[in-house]
Structure 1
């Protein structure tokens, strides 16, 4: 597999995440799920991307990507996010914006990694989720009905958001 192809899918994943995150209601729902349920928004959006573009996505892939993202989130993303949140009310706007930019750059790093891994997995022709709801359901424990219910709202938003814009070419 050529590096350019891997970078291409990473760019497409970034573009998808950026586009749907701007859709009304997606950001607030993602932040609620992140803060109240400790879910990784990047992985939720990756699930939506895979569903919309018919890429391999199942519980095994999710679990692997979550494990691969764990160190990056624990050591970099979460500490910067916590600093940014604490700084919001006490730091200068420039400092706050710098922390926000750093957090976004770290999330981009995570998205790039996930995009590269999805490109590798695409070659394996893995199992695809049936629909957006199914793609998101693999991101939570199968016996957590409450959390599954909460993800249905996000699934609806991502389905709506996904209808705007162009689908990436293969």
Structure 2
């Protein structure tokens, strides 16, 4: 078992850089799950990343991570995202891009909150066939099945 907090600082920077690359490949699925089921894209990317590194969090850890971010999102990120989307039709492209940049900054703040919440959690090193994937566990919080999203099954 590995404690996430025991990784060196470059681990965390590498994690989100890797997640950015995953996002580029999975953008359509991530955004559809965000819009249709209110999933947190950063948590979904973390689940994909952990699965690719054969690390597992428990279902209760996923529930805790989701809960930790929910109040932050409901207070700030989700209302801002809604405002940005509503403003798209009336803003110049440069103004809209500024709003998008602020939203991306808020997403980075969410990533920092995830890292803080992740630090005390214990990651189990397992082989993929031994247990449910992190993606399956995270999707289950929303009563979704990973087999319905084949692009997420690596």
TM-score range, shorter-chain basis? Answer: 0.7 to 0.9
Q: Answer whether contact 1:136 1:151 (CA < 8 A) is retained.
A: no
User: Can you list the C-alpha shifts for 1:92-147, whole angstroms capped at 9, x where unaligned?
Assistant: 222211111111111111112223433432xx354758369721111133793xx2
Matched, 1:46 2:43: no
Contact map agreement 1:59 1:139 (CA 8 A) in 2:
yes
Q: How much has 1:150 moved relative to structure 2? A: 6.1
Q: 1:128 to 1:96 in 2, by over 3 A?
A: farther
Q: Give the direction of change, closer, same or farther, for the CA distance of 1:154–1:111 in structure 2 (3 Å limit).
A: farther
Alignment gaps of 5+ in structure 1: 160-170
Gaps spanning 5+ residues in structure 2: where?
A: none
Q: TM-score, normalised by structure 2?
A: 0.80
Q: Residue 134 of structure 2 aligns with which residue? A: 135
Which residue in 1 is equivalent to 2:37? 37
Whether the aligned pair in 2 keeps the contact of 1:17 and 1:45 (CA below 8 Å) is yes
In the TM superposition, residue 7 of structure 1 has moved relative to its aligned partner by 4.2
1:13: Cα distance to partner? Answer: 2.3
Aligned residue pairs: how many? 150
What is the RMSD computed on CA atoms of the aligned residues?
2.9
* CA deviation profile, 1:55-74 (whole Å, cap 9, x unmatched): 33221111111111112111
* TM-score computed with the length of structure 1 as normaliser: 0.74
